[in-house]
Structure 1
Amino acid sequence: MTKVPDAAAEFREALSSRKFGTVLADPPWRFTNRTGKMAPEHRRLSRYGTMDLPEIMELPVQSVLAATAHLYLWVPNALLPEGLQVMRAWGFDYKSNIVWHKIRKDGGSDGRGVGFYFRNVTELVLFGVRGRNARTEAPGRRQVNLLATRKREHSRKPDEFYDIVESCSRGPYLELFARGTRPGWTGWGNQAEDYEIGWDTYSHHSQRNQAQLPLAGE
């Protein structure tokens, strides 16, 4: 497992002068079992850089938030309690969630996921708010809390989710642990600028159909 060095310091250096109305985060969670060892079903993922819970919680996210802000936090089913801890540490109150249902091309559940108790075909996005008058925008009140799309490569989340965030929450928009860039967003993370999809399995990705763009505001 690879520890992310000085993540909090890097965060401050990159973002301390900015204020964001919406944060989307997909932390590199470290899966461990109750003995403190990497859970067997996730040992094959150990080649990916991860952060432990205190490291994620210590990111100074509150320092870059507008007075009223929204958080969309991706969290694996097994780490729901940890996700709620991160949300509180970052200054948000939990309000709801959105479920990503991973489907095959034929629309059936994609059962290639892992899990100790059940085979996971879903992931959760925890939604939290901070400040006054923090309700979602009008489209959010019509948006169902279920998104059914095909899986991407390891850990990558559906491109369609950005459209939901942009219609339901106000900017400026910040993506933490971003993979690649997106117009209108500021990205932070070690793959924010150099990530590129290089194979055809997931050729329906938006990033295969547009040029890489600079971070918003730069």
Structure 2
Amino acid sequence: MYGIIYADPPWPITMANPRNSKKNLIPELPYKTMSVDDCFAAIDPFLQQANDKHNVFIWAVDKFLWDAEQQMKNRGYKLHARMIWDKGNGFPAAFTIRPSHEYLLWFYKPGHLLKPRKEVQGKYTTVFYEPSTVHSKKPIAAYKMLEDMFPDVTKIELFARNTRDGWQSWGNEVGKYN
């Protein structure tokens, strides 16, 4: 059913302690988070509905990079690429450095990789820049890249906060950013 599964899991991220945080930092996330295991339990039914040849794209921050890769490895997937979204900004972790990137991880099952259409093979790099706009809203460039690479497959976004033409959306915040 699905050729592309694209997920932005609500990782169990904790924000700054309100007593110690600067006034412009938010003390908690504007959405409910889930444990790593629960995030992947929610993804599993969609993996079972995937086409024979399919790809899975998962967003992760540094803290959950290893977890995402291990969870997918445990499900029989291999990492094809780590793409980096340079957001151009970010909140300083523990008031030290400002993390300004997120990873878009590309996974596939051995022997079942869905290849991009020939005309765009090699067109995209592993780093793309697009300024962050709203907390947790993902870059339009990522959607456009996947639409360009895989125009004729069914795509679904999990833990979606917006709808997009040509995509199915699943999550408890669908439409939040429309």
Name the counterpart of 2:63: 78
Alpha-carbon offset, residue 97 of structure 1: 1.3
Unaligned runs of 5+ in 1: 1-18, 33-37, 104-109, 197-206, 208-218
Alpha-carbon offset, residue 157 of structure 1: 0.8
- From 80, 88, 103, the counterpart of 2:73: 88
- From 108, 129, 132, the counterpart of 1:148: 129
TM-score between the two structures when normalised by the length of structure 1: 0.68
Q: Distance in 1 between matches of 2:64 and 2:113?
A: 29
Question: CA RMSD of the aligned region, Å?
Answer: 2.4
2:55/2:113 contact within 8 Å kept:
no
Matched, 1:114 2:92: yes
Runs of 4+ with deviation above 6 angstroms: none
1:28/1:50 contact within 8 Å kept:
yes
* Aligned CA distance change for structure 1 residues 71 and 126 (closer, same or farther; 3 Å): same
Letter in 2 for 1:65: A
Q: Distance in 2 between matches of 1:69 and 1:151?
A: 28
Matched, 1:44 2:44: no
Q: Distance in 2 between matches of 1:128 and 1:101?
A: 20
Q: Distance in 1 between matches of 2:92 and 2:136?
A: 12
* Aligned CA distance change for structure 1 residues 183 and 65 (closer, same or farther; 3 Å): same
The total of aligned residue pairs comes to: 166
Structure of greater relative contact order (alpha carbons < 8 Å, 6+ residues apart): 2
Matched, 1:174 2:143: no
Q: Distance in 1 between matches of 2:7 and 2:162?
A: 13
* Aligned CA distance change for structure 1 residues 47 and 174 (closer, same or farther; 3 Å): closer
Letter in 1 for 2:138: K
Matched, 1:25 2:7: yes
Name the counterpart of 2:38: 55
Residue identity over aligned pairs, in percent, reads 25
Q: Distance in 2 between matches of 1:82 and 1:137?
A: 30
* Aligned CA distance change for structure 1 residues 123 and 189 (closer, same or farther; 3 Å): same
1:57/1:89 contact within 8 Å kept:
no
Alpha-carbon offset, residue 91 of structure 1: 4.4
* Aligned CA distance change for structure 1 residues 67 and 160 (closer, same or farther; 3 Å): same
- From 114, 121, 125, the counterpart of 2:104: 125
